[in-house]
Amino acid sequence: MSNRGLGPALSRSLPADLTAAGTVLPGNVYQSMNQPSFPARDYAPDVHVLEDGQRTILLIGTAHVSRQSVDLVNSVITNEKPDCVCLELDDKRFTALNDEQRWQHLDLKTIIRNKQLSTLLVSLLMASYQKRLGDRLGVSPGAELMAGAKAAEAVGARVHLCDRDIRVTMRRAWKSTSFLRRMYLLSSLLASLFDTETIDEKKLEEMKNHDSLGDLMAELGEALPELKRVLIDERDIYLAEKIKSAPGSRIVAVVGAGHVAGIKRCWPTDQRSQLPALNEIPPVSRMWKTIGWLIPLLILSSIGLIGYRHGLQEAGDNIIFWILANGIPSSIGALIALAHPATTISAFVAAPLTSLTPVIGAGYVTAFVQVMMRPPVVREFETVTEDVATFFGWWRNKLLRVFLVFLLTSLGSAIGTYVGGFEIFTNLAG
């Protein structure tokens, strides 16, 4: 899967027999199977009809940075005057889209304490990609969703938010993805930031085409199956069930085009019982907890055995090597990030200790110290989505520098753990 292809696929994510749960009609075919239903109109193929008992749902598949999608949503809601408009949003994202200063409200200290910097970074990279794409097309990301909310208000329809909490989605995605796949994801998102390919409205519409979209989803599923399951498949089920639960008999639902096929596939089946499980944050498996504690236990035990066999001097030398092997690479990472001197010192001190416990990593310690010593200012929160797409912006913007400190000191500590552990085990075997 190409790095260039992953960004667009992710930006549109954020996709039994017929039963009483509902019937799916293809494309823009309008039929009065049950009353009351919507009148027949000649809408674009992006408008699909779903039947749920006596209710009719118009499902609109959109691109989140498309002016044509904004116009289509406005047109359908204005013409049909539904009882309810369902939006592919949760409370947090709905509030964020209404708040242009949303980045200023980040509580970085709480995010670091909750060990959520990684998921925040992925969210920021995806938001930056969508914003850059939106800037090229002259429309802000999620504009069609906000247009749906405003059009609903204008016609007196209720707004029903149908998506899963973004924090749950991101944490489930992160926890379900292996370390190597996480690195692949981050590198792909970073590569997409510097992609200079021009995407106009015509290309966007081509990408929304069923075949092209299916290829993108298949490509994402092949490269990152765990991620596709959480970002697309689980949310297809969630969105379908939440749309079914919307009040009223005439409903318009606005979702990303990447979810249309999945929602239509899930529609005939009642999957309400799955919703509680889809809202849970999976705990760390017992195996990984065991491994997390086993490694430091082996290192400490090895140092103890070295002291027993070769004397305290030899054990002390191995302890010093462990401290230097962890502290030096981690502090070098802080220096490369141009961190505050106190952050660099904390990297040297923290890395040898945090490497002996799975509870917290050196990156979180140094990120917290960096926020305390050089907190980002309002202007940097306002420009973060632009700065993240430039190389020097990562050093210029204090918020992004916190991420640099986190990533580079974590990398240094990981290198130190490998080097230090290898030396200690070699000495023990010798």
**What is the pLDDT, as a whole number, of residue 272?**
92
Using the structure block, give the residue that is written with the tokens 């949003």: 89
What is the rounded distance in angstroms from the CA atom of residue 89 to the CA atom of residue 152? 15
| Entry pTM | 0.67
Which range among 164-173, 192-201, 358-367, 386-395 shows the weakest confidence by mean pLDDT? 192-201
Which residues partner with 252 through β-bridges? 58, 85
Whether 11 has a pLDDT exceeding 50, the answer reads: no
Q: Which amino acid does the sequence have at 69?
A: S
What is the rounded distance in angstroms from the CA atom of residue 279 to the CA atom of residue 362? 30
The share of the chain scoring above pLDDT 70, in percent, equals 74
pLDDT (tens digit per residue) in 204-229: 555 555 444 545 555 555 667 777 88
**What is the pLDDT, as a whole number, of residue 37?**
58
Q: Which residues contact 286 (CB under 8 A, 6 or more apart)?
A: none
pLDDT (tens digit per residue) in 76-92: 999 999 999 999 998 88
* Phi, psi (degrees; rounded to nearest 5) at 428: -65, -45
Distances (CA, A) of 103 to 91, 97, 120: 16, 11, 11
Mean pLDDT of the chain: 79
Q: 33 falls in which pLDDT band (50, 70, 90)?
A: very low
Please state the three-class secondary structure of 337-370 as a single string: CCCCHHHHHHHHHHHHHHCCCCCCCHHHHHHHHH
What is the rounded distance in angstroms from the CA atom of residue 76 to the CA atom of residue 252? 8
Sign of CA dihedral 164, 257, 240, 254: positive
pLDDT (tens digit per residue) in 93-127: 888 777 655 555 666 777 787 777 777 777 777 66
pLDDT (tens digit per residue) in 116-159: 777 777 777 766 666 666 666 566 777 889 999 999 999 999 99
What SS3 state is found at 335? helix
